[in-house]
Structure 1
Amino acid sequence: MCGIVACRVRDHAAPVLLSALRNLEYRGYDSVGIAVSTEIGTLARIRTVHRIDDLEHRVNDWNGARLGNVGIGHTRWATHGAVDEANAHPHCDCTGRISLVHNGIIENCDELRATLTTSGHQFSSAVDSEVVCHLIEARLAESSDLFDAVQTAVTQLEGSWALAVLEESTGRLVAAAHHSPLLLAHNDAGTFVTSDPAAVSEWASEFHILRDGDVVEAGETLRWRNSGLMIDPPTPVDFARTHSPAELRGHSDFMDQEIDEQPVLAAKLIDELGPAIANGRLWDELGLPPFDALQIIACGTSMHAGRVIAQTLGRLAAVPTTLTLGSEVAYDVVLPRTLRLAISQSGETADVLRALDHPVPTEVRTLALTNNPHSTLSRRADAVLAYSAGPEIGVAATKTFVAQVIVGVCAVLSALVSSGRLSVTATLELVEQLRRLPVQLTTALEISRRVVPAIAHDLSTASGFLFLGRGSALPYAAEGALKLKELSYRWAEHYPAGELKHGPLALIEPGTPVVAVENGDPRLRANISEVRARGARVVTVGYDGSTIPVLTGEPTPWGPLEAVVPLQILARAVALELGRDVDKPRNLAKSVTVE
């Protein structure tokens, strides 16, 4: 989480930083700030616990020395320390000589803080990032060279970091990274350091990706070190923008727009992948060996998509599957000839990346499923499935969930036909079912737009919700519950409907909303009767006769994907009834880069 930008440009740095921070706000929005060189050799530090617009006003109202051409910026997702201006980045040392922005977690910050305090350093915040400032300050007392001081300081750190350090008077800028994404562009427009290339795509398209342990001085020329040794910069990667800047096109918020984009995205993905499924080409081109078991590694919405993929594989070919939350991988045993499918929208999810460090048999291979083919996850995997959903600005995932399910299912089908576990004839029939998805999603949108707002209005005063499903519907019930939690800040739990009598039924009282997702399993009717008999307010998502009748056709191995549409719209509508910011829910961020 958190977003970093730094730049050295010909003219004024502040407008570049503000534009970049607006593009990085999805990574955290608890606070935001910049530090910029001035014409008299000082650093102007401007911070706020409000959004980018407030920072822009503060910059425009700045009445100090004229702002210069070098600066750093940061948008924060709080880890250490409360959300207040003292804890907002950039941070500075005791003398004000340097300012620093940091993304990551310094695991030994308490020990370092105690040692530095004993040495006379005074801290003004509760964040771990400030420790790095004072550590660099202490090293500067020994070497007086910023590049050397940063290099020495990071050798004392444990944990993860992406750093940009700015020195007053000289305007020197140094960046460093370890287990946290950071990229650098150096061209005629200037030098740019960022967590996400899209943040500065107006000025740069080719970026050097900092490797673990890299320390770089971003001056008129680049000085690049790793482990204390001068090295050549890594080969630049082309991140040429393929999508227009994020803008609302007749929608009130990005989430609403991204929900609407799902049928078109589904059609695009199926058109691209469909011809390569039944002949096994989609799988064969990945270059991965055959597998006897599947391990899904993911978090949040990506885990729900992973469960759909795993269930599809299990139903069609009885392949054993394991679902592993990235943060809990240490307790899993991975057998030989297992395929690890690591799923992350950003490709930078720290829990997923750390999970890949868990030792596995040498023949185990990793396949990444991500929206970012240039991400850390993509670089670490043996093969990559990039689903190219385009930018998703809303923090709560919508279209990327649909994309993950479709691309993952297509890959599973192709793998099964390639290995002879599924016939070409059967696969072609399944591909035809996939081709119906865009129309089914469109129909679900049309029905949901008409039906759901009134339901959301009636349910908006409820304190909590229960989501039920059976079999292939269960991952969609789980995703519906997660969306409602993320957006409305109401508790929402999902359960297999058969588990009601084993405890969750105690939650039901008159008026409790219960959302049941159908998949054709007749046993669900009895479970609905059980909650209705106890006064629950039941909302069914299913076939004709249900509250929200969006399902058509026979059940598929991947379950009722179109059911996710009314669940997304329900969560958004309830949140709007409660006055929530549906694009930027409290306490959350889009790219989860801390464990």
Structure 2
Amino acid sequence: MCGIIGCAGRGDSTLDTLLHGLSKLEYRGYDSAGVALSDDDLTVRRKAGKLDALETSLGADPLQNGSGSVSDNPVGIGHTRWSTHGPPTDGNAHPHRDCTGRVAVIHNGIIENYQELRDELAASGHEFESDTDTEVVPHLIETALDSGMAPEEAVRDSIDRLEGAYAICVVIAGVDQVFAARNDSPLVLGVSDDAYFFASDVPAFREFTDKVIYLDDGEFAVINQNGYRVTDSNGAVVEKTVNTIEWDPEETGKSGYDHYMLKEIHEQPRALRQCLQGRVDELAGEVILEELGDVNPDAVQFVACGTSYHAALYGAQLFRSIGIPAQAYIASEYATSVPPIDDDLVIGVTQSGETADTLSALREARRRGAKTMAVTNVVGSTAARECDEALYIRAGPEIGVAATKTFASQLVTLALLSLWIDGEEDNRDVIAGFRDLASNVQAILDDTNARKIAEEYHDSDAYFFIGRGLHHPVALEGALKFKEISYEHAEGFPAGELKHGPLALVTDNTPVFAVVTGEGEQARKTIGNVKEVEARDAPVIAVTDGQSDVERYADHVLEIPESTPRTAAVLANVQLQLVSYYAAAQLGRPIDKPRNLAKSVTVE
């Protein structure tokens, strides 16, 4: 959600560096973009719409200062905005300036006391040009500068007055530095031999360096062409660890695919191998999670949002199956209505490790004395650093807003965690089921008929997804994927719930996707639910491994290989991802950047 890039030391390539960084942050979701360069003067350009609108604007009217050009070595900041305060307009786009035009600020997050500050500033003569909360920041800095404060002191003093979540970058005319601070919103610092960067996520500067520093809440940082400095809220220098990013910048490209989402669906076999590598010993029947300490919970509470919440539902079922009470909670509800915790382990499932609602839930759990664990994809993320334990899903970088390979890796990681905590010797057969998982996913990718089914039903009134047991979270996820990238109405249900209300919506133009695997009681009961919708003339698409006779009642079949119940859920999900992708493609939707959505939701 929103994207930040700042740089110093890139010389006359500064503007190109900012634009490149913004292009790598488009996946986060945004509706306007802007840049600012600072040397003796400050020059700003911002535009509503996508990045190409800004680039077109710059082509027609290049950035230049009052003397008609920009120096050979400016500092700069850039931003992509996801609207919270005010609609997506040129005036609401970042960077925002003060009255004098010498201060420019970009900001992710929400400043909760902005109205109070704005009223105070307006009463003292400041004029505002936007609807945003961010605009109070440059005016606060302007006031501090006018009082005689030095630039860094003025920025610090202004940030100290803010309440809420923020990652902020500031440039000031005549100052060859970029100032930055974070609180409850991600911000990283990139370090190369001759240049330094700020960004909301590593891909923004990965092409220029693989060295990164993860800033913590309350820290303040400064970069210029000669180096960087990180201090705490009191101004004391903080020695930070410089981490090395292991993935190659080419991993964030499309590699010839039409969309990142399709590429990442096809990357799932590799992602799953990475997830499993070194963690399963099939001969011994053991799961090995060396990164974890002593974890032996009496009960587990999962907190998560969106796709990660569906993974949490799956994980909670697995924990209950080994005799450990477990419940999955929507993080935004948990944070404001916390259930009794006692000695429960609280597990936050978050792809980015920066999801604001999940972080709030984890912090509230810790405040109440709970032990916490992050199940996340991002090494060094806020959740990973703040929790007592961190378990990485190892999916690799995911750019598409709609989570695909990270969901599959979350499911497998949670399955491994439940087996590791269980520690029973009779898990050998279950562990063996992971051996063929990656190749089974590849078989689906090679032979799927999802495109044909998506094309046949692309003009339906609505789409229902049903499943029982471990397939219920898969049904919910299938519906979420479908609605978020196709913009069509889709709902997921426990299969048995259709008859308790939703069946009233079933017609001959509402396809029902039913996940049915195995031949046990759950499969038989789900087939009964399939017959119920078939009797109402609804088309049925069965996602099945062929062990039941659901094909007899289905209009179409999406086949998956035979597997264990745990891995069948992963395989069924791949078919539903492909259906969603091809349906959205048939409708011409912007698949990688669905409207109103963001990859990492860093506001509550």
Report how far residue 559 of structure 1 moved: 4.6
User: Cα deviation per residue 1:68-94 (whole Å; 9 max; x = unaligned)?
Assistant: 421100111111110111111111111
| Counterpart Cα distance in 1 of 2:243 and 2:271 | 26
Q: Which residue of 2 aligns with 1:44?
A: 43
Distance 1:23 1:87, change over 3 A: same
| Counterpart Cα distance in 2 of 1:187 and 1:494 | 47
The answer to whether structure 1 residue 439 and structure 2 residue 448 are counterparts is: no
1:120 counterpart letter in structure 2:
G
User: Cα deviation per residue 1:354-408 (whole Å; 9 max; x = unaligned)?
Assistant: 1112145876322211111111111011122112211111110111111111122
Report how far residue 580 of structure 1 moved: 0.2
Q: Which residue of 2 aligns with 1:58?
A: 57
Q: Which residue of 2 aligns with 1:497?
A: 495
2:420 counterpart letter in structure 1:
S
| Counterpart Cα distance in 2 of 1:271 and 1:239 | 19
> What does 1:454-469 correspond to in 2, within 5 Å?
454-469=452-467
| Counterpart Cα distance in 1 of 2:300 and 2:269 | 29
The answer to whether structure 1 residue 238 and structure 2 residue 239 are counterparts is: no
Q: Secondary structure at the match of 2:77?
A: strand
| Counterpart Cα distance in 2 of 1:412 and 1:126 | 48
Q: Which residue of 2 aligns with 1:573?
A: 582
Contact 1:324-1:332 at 8 Å conserved across structures: no
Q: After TM superposition, which residue ranges in structure 1, 4 or more long, deviate above 6 angstroms?
A: none
| Counterpart Cα distance in 1 of 2:490 and 2:145 | 52
Distance 1:382 1:279, change over 3 A: farther
Q: Secondary structure at the match of 1:35?
A: strand
Q: Which residue of 1 aligns with 2:21?
A: 20
Counterpart pick for 1:123 among 115, 121, 128: 128
Contact 2:285-2:427 at 8 Å conserved across structures: no
User: Cα deviation per residue 1:180-199 (whole Å; 9 max; x = unaligned)?
Assistant: 11122344322211111231
Q: Which residue of 1 aligns with 2:313?
A: 307
Contact 1:473-1:560 at 8 Å conserved across structures: yes
Q: Secondary structure at the match of 1:86?
A: coil
Report how far residue 281 of structure 1 moved: 6.0
TM-score by length of 1: 0.93
Q: Secondary structure at the match of 1:366?
A: strand
Q: Which residue of 2 aligns with 1:29?
A: 30
> What does 1:48-127 correspond to in 2, within 5 Å?
48-63=47-62, 64=64, 65-68=68-71, 69-127=74-132
Contact 2:232-2:238 at 8 Å conserved across structures: no
Report how far residue 326 of structure 1 moved: 1.2
Distance 1:155 1:409, change over 3 A: same
Q: Secondary structure at the match of 1:230?
A: coil
Q: Secondary structure at the match of 1:590?
A: coil
Q: Which residue of 2 aligns with 1:392?
A: 398
| Counterpart Cα distance in 2 of 1:493 and 1:243 | 37
User: Cα deviation per residue 1:454-509 (whole Å; 9 max; x = unaligned)?
Assistant: 22122211232111111121011011000001101112111111111211111112
| Counterpart Cα distance in 1 of 2:365 and 2:420 | 28
Q: Which residue of 2 aligns with 1:136?
A: 141
| Counterpart Cα distance in 2 of 1:354 and 1:283 | 26
Contact 2:230-2:239 at 8 Å conserved across structures: yes
Count of residue correspondences: 584
| Counterpart Cα distance in 2 of 1:225 and 1:189 | 21
Report how far residue 333 of structure 1 moved: 2.1
Contact 2:80-2:94 at 8 Å conserved across structures: yes
> What does 1:355-394 correspond to in 2, within 5 Å?
355-359=361-365, 364-394=370-400
User: Cα deviation per residue 1:508-566 (whole Å; 9 max; x = unaligned)?
Assistant: 12311211111342011221121222222222111333522423436524653201111
The answer to whether structure 1 residue 202 and structure 2 residue 207 are counterparts is: yes
Distance 1:461 1:236, change over 3 A: same
Give the stretch that moved more between structures: 367-376 or 202-211: 202-211
Contact 2:285-2:431 at 8 Å conserved across structures: no
Distance 1:363 1:158, change over 3 A: closer
Q: Which residue of 2 aligns with 1:487?
A: 485
1:298 counterpart letter in structure 2:
A
| Counterpart Cα distance in 2 of 1:472 and 1:487 | 24
Report how far residue 53 of structure 1 moved: 3.0
| Counterpart Cα distance in 1 of 2:438 and 2:121 | 59
User: Cα deviation per residue 1:256-287 (whole Å; 9 max; x = unaligned)?
Assistant: 11111112322343343212895656246511
Q: Secondary structure at the match of 2:347?
A: strand
1:495 counterpart letter in structure 2:
F
Report how far residue 6 of structure 1 moved: 0.8
| Counterpart Cα distance in 1 of 2:352 and 2:434 | 25
1:531 counterpart letter in structure 2:
V
User: Cα deviation per residue 1:558-588 (whole Å; 9 max; x = unaligned)?
Assistant: 6532011111111111111111011111111
Report how far residue 204 of structure 1 moved: 2.8
Q: Which residue of 1 aligns with 2:562?
A: 553
User: Cα deviation per residue 1:283-315 (whole Å; 9 max; x = unaligned)?
Assistant: 465112311111111111111112222212222
User: Cα deviation per residue 1:342-365 (whole Å; 9 max; x = unaligned)?
Assistant: 111111111111111214587632
| Counterpart Cα distance in 2 of 1:96 and 1:381 | 42
Q: Which residue of 1 aligns with 2:602?
A: 593
Report how far residue 415 of structure 1 moved: 1.4
Q: Secondary structure at the match of 2:280?
A: helix
Distance 1:234 1:277, change over 3 A: farther
Contact 2:5-2:199 at 8 Å conserved across structures: yes
Give the stretch that moved more between structures: 229-238 or 404-413: 229-238
Q: Secondary structure at the match of 2:443?
A: helix
Give the stretch that moved more between structures: 212-221 or 12-21: 212-221
Report how far residue 341 of structure 1 moved: 1.6
Q: Which residue of 2 aligns with 1:159?
A: 164
Q: Which residue of 2 aligns with 1:472?
A: 470
The answer to whether structure 1 residue 564 and structure 2 residue 563 are counterparts is: no
Contact 2:280-2:286 at 8 Å conserved across structures: no
| Counterpart Cα distance in 2 of 1:170 and 1:226 | 22
Give the stretch that moved more between structures: 520-529 or 579-588: 520-529
TM-score by length of 2: 0.92
| Counterpart Cα distance in 1 of 2:129 and 2:511 | 47
Q: Which residue of 2 aligns with 1:345?
A: 351
Q: Which residue of 1 aligns with 2:427?
A: 427
Residue identity (%): 39
Q: Give the superposed CA RMSD.
A: 2.1
| Counterpart Cα distance in 1 of 2:477 and 2:130 | 37
| Counterpart Cα distance in 2 of 1:349 and 1:533 | 43
| Counterpart Cα distance in 1 of 2:142 and 2:171 | 12
| Counterpart Cα distance in 1 of 2:428 and 2:564 | 16
| Counterpart Cα distance in 1 of 2:309 and 2:236 | 41
Report how far residue 254 of structure 1 moved: 1.3
Contact 2:434-2:567 at 8 Å conserved across structures: no
Q: Secondary structure at the match of 2:295?
A: coil
Contact 1:87-1:125 at 8 Å conserved across structures: yes
| Counterpart Cα distance in 1 of 2:287 and 2:276 | 14
Report how far residue 14 of structure 1 moved: 0.4
> What does 1:169-248 correspond to in 2, within 5 Å?
169-219=174-224, 220-242=226-248, 244-248=250-254
Contact 1:327-1:355 at 8 Å conserved across structures: yes
Q: Which residue of 2 aligns with 1:537?
A: 539
Contact 2:346-2:365 at 8 Å conserved across structures: no
2:590 counterpart letter in structure 1:
D
| Counterpart Cα distance in 1 of 2:135 and 2:241 | 32
